[in-house]
Structure 1
Amino acid sequence: MTNLEKYNKILKRNLQATDEDLNDDVLVYNRFKRWESVRHVDMVADLEEAFGVFFETLDITSFSTYSKGIEILEKLGVDMSK
């Protein structure tokens, strides 16, 4: 499983999203019906565990769209092309 597939799986599980939802037009924090604060914290914890990284407070608060999550993981050293 690629890192992008892992990322997508975590978002889909936490947000009960579909493949069609995996884009910045749909997956937006507090706009997507299931992406609220409690699920946000759970999702960050799942991403940290899956990728062996630690989100700083700024990372947590700026993780507000599908692609922003990918950008943060890449900043933390996760190769999302693998």
Structure 2
Amino acid sequence: MNTQAMGTAEETRVLVVEDDRGIAESLVRGSRQAGYSVEDVRTGRAALSVPSPDVVLLDLGLPDIDGVEVCRRLRKRRSSR
């Protein structure tokens, strides 16, 4: 990951999309300790409502929308800007 292209860690917004609370907590804790701004959600629908994160840590087996589909939609939204 090229953090120089995104700015400093504090400026980089990470979105964690994980329905398993234990895994999510570990990813959030590690990302925050590294200095990133982190938002975490449990569903694909919630992930799609977050405005343009810089980095997405995405579970592929979400309860509502397949993670691959969430990735497609996020990429499409990002490329249309």
Q: TM-score, normalised by structure 2?
A: 0.31
With CA pairs under 8 Å and 6+ residues apart, which has the higher RCO, 1 or 2?
A: 1
Structure with more of its chain in strand, by fraction: 2
Structure with more of its chain in helix, by fraction: 1
